[in-house]
Chain A
Amino acid sequence: MFSKSLDMTGKQCPIPVVEANKSFKTFTVPGTLEVLVDNETAVQNLIKLAGSKSFEVASEKKSDKLFSVKFSVKPTSETLEADEPTVCIPDMRGGNVVAISSCYMGSGSDELGAILMKGFVYALLQMETLPSAVLLYNSGVKLSCEGSDSLEDLRNLESMGVEVLSCGTCLDFFNLKEKLAVGGVTNMYTIVEKLCGASSVIKP
């Protein structure tokens, strides 16, 4: 399959979007375009560009300052010839912080609560405005560890610039320190700092 790569690290929006758009036009057969950028805003704008072209897209956080955005480019006259205005929004992350204090959403049935929580994390990804951080504490840390059904969704959130932080004391309590599979480990000071600094706190 035809594939291309664009290194847009060090470039500020709208340059990555403009260059990706130009690169789409060089595809005469279906293929993959990987764009490397160093900031979350560029990731979000590239994802928005993919949506406007109806291309499938996947993003991955490779390190603190390196993100990969992969487009499945399908060259058709409608998607490639249309010269749309460059999409460039400042940031899709609002000042909201999501605090997940349990691996269950609500009480009454743990089985139902686990399903609702899985759905909650999935639905977070669908929002126009993403939270700036997802804090996981008490049994909520089970969601960020190996075997969790929410890992893929949390990784997607992280790849879009959302901080995913699990409480270290809680990981230790549940013997899960070695099983953390997404995001970083945090402590109570950072949790309190994030909660106090949030424009609103969402607690499922």
Chain B
Amino acid sequence: MRGKSLKLIVTFKGGTDALAFERYCQAREVPGRLIPTPRALSESCGLAWMAEPEFRKEIEKAAQEGGLVFERFVELVC
């Protein structure tokens, strides 16, 4: 099992929002990647964006500029 560390997780209400988030962020080289939503956040849809916590501001800015729809930002050890 890979070592766990604190990560920033962005959750979404639906998969379409997650895919739009990935497309926007990848095109602009915003740090992070799409992962299956950690079990601890299973109230959300099956996909989540994961990045290092220090990129939080950059990701929040991208989400705002791109008008991206997300549920919440969570910091979680995973």
Contact = CB atoms under 8 A, between A and B. Distances in A.
In the complex, which range does the number of interface residues on chain A fall in?
20 to 34
B2 A156 contact: yes
A123 B34 CA distance: 12
Nearest to B4: A51
A196 to B, nearest CB: 27
A57 interface: yes
A123 B33 contact: no
Interface in B1-38: 1-5, 15, 19, 33-36
Contacts of A112: 15
A7 interface: no
B36 A50 contact: no
A50 B3 contact: yes
Nearest to B52: A56
A127 interface: yes
A56 B3 contact: yes
A91 B19 CA distance: 37
Given A122-B35, A123-B36, A149-B33, A115 B47 contact: yes
Interface string B30-52: 00011110000000001100000
Contacts, number: 40
A130 B1 CA distance: 7
Contacts of A50: 3
A127 B36 contact: no
Given A119-B35, A122-B36, A123-B36, A47 B1 contact: yes
Contacts of B4: 51
Contacts of A126: 1-2, 78
B36 A125 contact: no
Given A115-B19, A115-B47, A119-B47, A47 B36 contact: no
A178 interface: no
A80 B3 CA distance: 18
Contact of A57 (B3, B77, B78): B3
21 contacts: A47-B1, A47-B2, A51-B1, A51-B4, A54-B77, A56-B3, A92-B1, A115-B34, A115-B47, A118-B34, A119-B34, A119-B35, A122-B35, A123-B36, A125-B1, A126-B1, A126-B78, A127-B1, A130-B1, A156-B2, A160-B2
Interface of A: 47-48, 50-51, 54-58, 92, 111-112, 115, 118-119, 122-123, 125-128, 130, 149, 156, 160
